[in-house]
Amino acid sequence: MTIRYDDQVAIVTGAGNGLGRSHALALAERGAKVVVNDLGGARDGTGGSSAAAQEVVELIESNGGEAIANGANVTNMDEVEAMVAQAMDKWGRVDILINNAGILRDKSFAKVALDDFKLVVDVHLMGSVNCTKAVWAIMQQQTYGRIVMTTSSSGMYGNFGQTNYGAAKMGLIGFMNTLVLEGKKYGIHVNALSPTAGTRMLEDIIEDKRMFDLMSVEAVTAGLLTLCDKDAPNRTILCCGAGGYATTHIYETQGIYLPPEQQTPENVRANIEGVNNTDGEQILTAGFEQTNKFVGMALKHFGIEPPKAG
């Protein structure tokens, strides 16, 4: 089966360079009409130019596709809403949103300025919130939508000097998890891409050119394309880099129960082996599932049969 996007409209943020550029070109090549959004700033978010986005549009058009350039700053809701209106005026729908725009302002937490911390969170997290908010009602009305967040191993596992970036990227996972629940009845699927690629975001970090060359943007885009077609999964964190593909899951151990008279920090510490025991651990898909588990354990202790789910 060939993955196609014929008659679909996609918005790709940060699409003037790197991964976003690769995503936009690949979506267009497979039939999508594409809004190529890019503020045109430097890696740290300074400056701006429409040249990069316009070049991508010209490439798409030269290959027989349809695209428009847009320079909205994803942190500015008025500009984001105008971008979505531009897509609706031209094509009448929005099927796919790829939240890819991002900047870096790396410093250890002791040295990072709060303004730099906030700006990185604003671009990555609130920028994705703004763009998603702007298309959400459209996708609800269509009863169809595909949204991809761009997360990072820096958020899921940590990376020195990237508290701002890591906080924003992990925040996107929480954002995704709840959108999955709220979008399900409208046919809206929300997933996350965790990429590693040889882009300007990593050019100062990876000095070995052989490694850099292996980490092609096209390898990551191959994964991205599986998260936003008609048969896309839902709530998947897909990790891609250098031709490797994996998924990340958040597991919770079964844990233990302590009766009221034993609920002390000393007893929690004394039973930490049981708390950490991975036998029977589960992937939970909603916050109330954790509550139900713990309350069920307590009810059983008092001889009360927990209510059946559903």
Specify whether 165 is catalytic: yes
Contacts 24+ apart (CB under 8 A), 217-222: 217/18, 217/19, 217/21, 217/22, 218/22, 218/26, 219/243, 220/19, 220/22, 220/193, 220/195, 220/196, 221/19, 221/22, 221/23, 221/26
Catalytic residue among 5, 144, 157, 165: 165
Q: How far apart are CA 30 and CA 25, in angstroms?
A: 9
Q: Collapsing DSSP states into helix, strand and coil, what is residue 33?
A: strand
**Helices 163-183 and 127-142 meet at what angle, rounded to 10?**
10
The CA distance from 135 to 67, in Å, is 18
Distance from C-alpha of 121 to C-alpha of 116, rounded to nearest angstrom: 9
List the beta bridge partners of residue 166: none
As given in the structure block, the two tokens for residue 23 are: 């995503």
Kindly list the catalytic residues. 165
